[in-house]
Amino acid sequence: MTHPLDAQDLMRAAQDATGLADWGDELFREPLEVLSHDLIVHADLNALGIERARRRLVDNLKGRLSLAEDRKRFAGVAEEVVVKPIFVAGLPRAGSTFFHNLLAADPANRSPRLWEIMFPSPPPLEATYASDPRIEACRAALDFEGFLSPAMQGIHPYGAERPEECNFLWEISLLTVNYPAWWNVPNYAKLLYSIDMKPVYEEQKRALQHLQHRFKRDRWVLKTPAHDWWMRDLIEVFPDAGVVLCHRDPAKVLASLSNNLAVNYSLFSDATPAGSFGMLERQSQSMRRAAQVRDEHPDRFFDAHYLEVQADPLRELGRCYARFGVTFSPERAAAVAAWMAADREAHAKGPRHSYSMAAFDLDYASIDNVMGGYIRDFNVRLERAA
């Protein structure tokens, strides 16, 4: 009997659901095969986890087929120009989601919402953007996968109509940090961090052309800390982009990130790996790679320090815009301020997580030994009890 996560069976399911067979670039085939093997052999998914993973991957493959078809159906998509996007990157759990939401609250900007990322076909219309039936379909998918649970909402505010990360767009390429963040897939992770990601960024650019075809703003505002690892590819594919690097005390970041991954795994498996998931070395390497590109293109980067952003978000957003030559009108600032007020109220009512560094085999000495250079080079203020 064919396993529900068999690569060929997943592809057949997507083709049967869409009636389409043009996969576009063949980039996705090797990662899908490796991912399928790891999910079956290594991930130790429970029955619900298998069903959740299958639905997610079939949706990803359906999205890939539909995007390839829409590029032929909708004249002009290929001629769309992605102008001066702003990408938010830097350490995870360092305020990148908050800064991305500040940018997204500016009515001059366009941020991809999760519903249009998960179900991109056809290109959304501005007139029906807030009432598109795909919003409810996305909400149902998130609920089925467990992402709307209190445990997940206390970590990351998933929502169909919320701005979401580039790694969700990368799912159409089947090369994304989402999969190893949800599942124990060691061979896939090894492939992901060694492969040429420039074609994935090129596919992301095509996806943005698609999404803006019938609804565009002055610029895209996009986000994922995973850009750190592939910063050179980002700059090559988006040569006029600005990049916000978010910084925070790594001790705060790593404990929070490890807790995040543990909760992610629990949505799909009854087995959670011990320790910090190798995140100390991974984040150190990621920031070194990003810093090298930043040193080569200093005018393309803005440093957003967590404590400074929390102290005065509008000031730091204004500084970011000034860095990239973007005018920030009082009317747009008022719109961002209104979002901030609503977000504070929602955040005050939300669930909280409690965890410690020790629970993930982390301590200040080991963190500083590996990331002391990062702390020094970026003048990161520490957030540690005396």
Residue 203 belongs to domain with CATH number: 3.40.50.300
Residue 270 within a domain? yes
Residue 385 within a domain? no
The confidence score (pLDDT) of residue 385 equals: 74
Residue 265 structural domain: 7-77+84-377
The confidence score (pLDDT) of residue 275 equals: 72
Q: Please report the DSSP string for 325-364 in residue order.
A: T----HHHHHHHHHHHHHHHHHHHHS------SGGGT--H
Q: How many residues does the chain have?
A: 386
Residues 6+ apart with CB under 8 A from 169: 112, 117, 204, 207, 208
Is residue 183 a contact partner of residue 269, using CB atoms and an 8 Å limit?
yes
Residue 145 within a domain? yes
3-state secondary structure 81-135: CCCCCEEEEECCCCCHHHHHHHHHHCCCEECCEHHHHHCCCCCCCHHHCCCCCHH
Residue 212 within a domain? yes
Count of structural domains within the chain: 1
- Rounded to whole angstroms, the Cα distance separating 324 from 108 reads 15
The confidence score (pLDDT) of residue 352 equals: 66
Residue stretches of the chain with pLDDT short of 50: none
H or E, element range at 278: none
The confidence score (pLDDT) of residue 143 equals: 98
- Rounded to whole angstroms, the Cα distance separating 311 from 307 reads 6
Residues 6+ apart with CB under 8 A from 379: 305
| Beta strands, E only, the chain | 86-90, 109-110, 219-223, 242-247, 301-305
Residue 261 within a domain? yes
- Rounded to whole angstroms, the Cα distance separating 253 from 91 reads 7
Tokens describing residue 13? 């399911």
Q: Tell me: the pLDDT tens digits for 158-168?
A: 999 999 999 99
- Rounded to whole angstroms, the Cα distance separating 257 from 279 reads 8
